């Protein structure tokens, strides 16, 4: 992350943009990029969203080879490829603003993330939260009767 931070700071300094990069403006901008990421899911079914996953990841190609594709399939494949690029771009935008915020605020992101994982581990003990998407505030309420909740499924 250090080398990436250097790259984005170089980009910023070449344009003399540090003057606009107050903590407030950077945080607002990160929120706007997060919203653009959310926009990629707008009106889409779960299946359409999961189709944005790279084929290397899912293990099957998104589209048949060019010579067996119909025109409609080729068009769809092009549309999906464009949306995958958009997904990567929006993730990148969130990361770039996060690096700028961390630099501005003097936060060591790697340390902060490991620190937060440790806090989360205390809030979500493995035995209470395994296989459950309950919030920690609800888990705490369940803590006395550990045995029952250990088998809790998310929707019960």
Binding residues among 70-89 for its own copies as defined by CB under 8 A: 72, 84, 87-89
Structure tokens at 80: 């999906």
Task: Name the residue nearer to its own copies (CB basis): 98 or 149.
Answer: 98
Site string for its own copies, 111-140 (x = CB under 8 A): -xxxxxx-xxx--x-x--xxx-x-------
Count of residues of this chain found to bind its own copies when the rule CB under 8 A is applied? 81
**Interaxial angle between packed helices 23-39 and 71-105, expressed in degrees from 0 to 180 and rounded to the nearest 10:** 160
Binding residues among 12-31 for its own copies as defined by CB under 8 A: 14-17, 19-20, 22-25, 27-31
CB of 65 to its own copies, least distance (A): 20
């Amino acid at each position: 992350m250090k080398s990436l931070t250097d790259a984005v700071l170089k980009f910023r300094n070449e344009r003399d943009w540090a003057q606009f990069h107050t903590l407030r403006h950077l945080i607002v901008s990160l929120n706007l990029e997060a919203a653009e990421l959310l926009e990629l899911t707008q009106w889409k079914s779960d299946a359409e969203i999961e189709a944005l996953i790279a084929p290397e990841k899912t293990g099957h190609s998104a589209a048949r080879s060019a010579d067996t594709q119909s025109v409609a399939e080729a068009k769809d494949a092009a549309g999906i490829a464009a949306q995958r690029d958009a997904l990567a771009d929006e993730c990148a935008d969130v990361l770039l603003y996060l690096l700028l915020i961390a630099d501005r605020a003097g936060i060591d992101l790697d340390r902060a993330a490991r620190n937060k994982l440790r806090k989360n581990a205390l809030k979500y003990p493995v035995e209470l939260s395994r296989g459950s998407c309950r919030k920690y505030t609800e888990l705490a309420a369940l803590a006395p009767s550990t045995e029952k909740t250990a088998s809790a499924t998310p929707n019960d």
